[in-house]
Amino acid sequence: MPSPNTRALGFLNLIYSAEMIETQAAKTATPPAFAIADIAGTVGIGLRAPHYQAMLAQQPALGFLEVHSENFFGDGGQPLKYLRAFRAIYPMSLHGVGLSIGSTDKLNLNHLQKLKRLADAIEPALISEHLCWVGVNGRFVNDLLPLPYTAESLRHVISHVTQVQDFLGRRISVENVSSYLEFVDSDIPEWAFIQEVSDRAGCGILLDVNNIYVNAMNHGFDAKNYVDAIKPGSVTEIHLAGFQDTGEILIDTHGDRISSEVWALYAYTLARLGRVPTLIEWDSDLPALDVLLDEAKRAGAIMQQVPASLHPTQRRTHAA
């Protein structure tokens, strides 16, 4: 059982943290807008609740933070206070998991309204969603499901992305997802599909290098060919994460350090695409904050090896 002194210290820490949150949140009543160019050539981490206190205390040198949009859809409360506190310190990226852009269902208007309200309040440098579907006929699964890569699917996704951007009045980016099966009807390579979505919808590409490697191993294609097919000016952000090797397939778990193979592919990607803003993702078996910062430091060191002149063209904006 904790001693009275320990309990008292814990209580004082809670009071101190609450005061810090209120002070930082007050600074962002009307936050300045950030553009993608403001975080070019930087590295960030995914912000998770267990790290809030350490992040507020340390305020490590990071280019930006990224959060899952849906975690902040509520009306007020502690989550938004924390988000505003961090937004006073760092540029922010909103990363969605539930919009289901690839579903045959109509886009969820309530979801879009909450996302727009959050984006208008936070003024993020980036907004992104996954190129996938998470439900159909109003029923949802807790997973990011792959699409059939066909002309019909392509037209459908482009329509949905365009609707999202028109509603938000902002450009979004779409992320390539990991997959463990392929549709027999697919007749467009995954890399050509996502590039065509970007070209025709005017959206950015959030290029998940770990997912490229996972899919390359699972489906038997060359990961470098995927990277080579992506236009440098299309990519607004890169994600890095760890995977699990089951012996049969690789699973994108976001629960381990980044593998040496993915680090090598990341270096190859930067050499081709330039100093794209890069995020370290870690969602399961969350370690101490210092582990994420160590991974971010390694990504930064690799980025520094890329000539500063190799910055992607990122100032394209969505015309609302």
For residue 256, being part of any structural domain is answered with no
pLDDT value of residue 23: 55
Q: Residue 221 corresponds to which tokens in the numbers above?
A: 């294609």
Residue 156, classified by CB atoms within 10 Å of its CB into exposed (0-12), middle (13-18) or buried (19+), is middle
pLDDT in tens, the chain (320 residues): 444 444 434 433 443 454 555 555 555 455 677 777 889 999 999 999 999 999 999 999 999 999 999 999 998 899 999 999 999 999 999 999 888 888 888 999 999 999 999 999 999 999 999 998 676 666 666 667 788 999 999 999 999 999 999 999 999 999 999 999 888 999 999 999 999 999 999 999 999 999 999 999 999 999 999 999 999 999 999 999 999 999 999 999 999 999 999 999 999 999 999 999 999 999 999 999 999 999 999 999 999 999 887 666 443 333 33
pLDDT value of residue 4: 40
For residue 253, being part of any structural domain is answered with no
Task: Tell me the residue range of the domain where 93 lies.
Answer: 35-207+227-238+274-310
For residue 19, being part of any structural domain is answered with no
For residue 4, being part of any structural domain is answered with no
For the chain, the domain total comes to 1
pLDDT value of residue 142: 65
**Residue 167 maps to which CATH number?**
3.20.20.150
Is the Cβ–Cβ distance between 231 and 191 less than 8 Å? no
For residue 17, being part of any structural domain is answered with no
For residue 125, being part of any structural domain is answered with yes
For residue 320, being part of any structural domain is answered with no
For residue 142, being part of any structural domain is answered with yes
Rg (CA), the chain: 20
pLDDT value of residue 214: 97
